Amino acid sequence: QVQLQQSGPGLVKPSQTVSLTCTVSGDSITTSHLAWHWIRQPPGKGLEWMGVIAYDGTTYYSPSLKSRTSISRDTSKNQFSLQLSSVTPDDTAVYYCAVSDGLRVGSIKPTDYDHWGQGTQVTVSS
């Protein structure tokens, strides 16, 4: 059974960088066809897809967040990470990591994802 465990701080000051990590167990992040996503949900709003790193290390980002977002991975630890820079209060949201079979770039359909992390409430406030 694949499990995704998120870690990272929940409170960040404006202009700083949010750094979150998703540790995967039960499968390898290099397994063919799997793609590893970051998705967020601001309060009172729907899901927003942020980006993905595929099994081969290829990355894709939301056009609206691309200039501030970086997704990387550490295959030795079976982890992938999100960095979102220059945050503002508008970046306050619950952040999720998730895995799909196939790229699913841009998808906000929960059923497109096979497993999810537990979610991290990130609040941007001074």
Question: Cα separation of 123 and 99, whole Å?
Answer: 24
Q: Which residues contact 9 (CB under 8 A, 6 or more apart)?
A: 18, 19, 122
- 104: closest CA among 42, 21, 37, 55? 37
* Phi, psi for residue 52 in degrees, rounded to 5: -150, 150
- The pairing of beta strand 115-116 with beta strand 93-101: antiparallel
Question: Cα separation of 87 and 22, whole Å?
Answer: 20
Q: What is the pLDDT of residues 91-110, one digit of tens each?
A: 999 999 999 999 999 999 99
Q: What is the pLDDT of residues 28-85, one digit of tens each?
A: 999 999 999 999 999 999 999 999 999 999 999 999 999 999 999 999 999 999 999 9
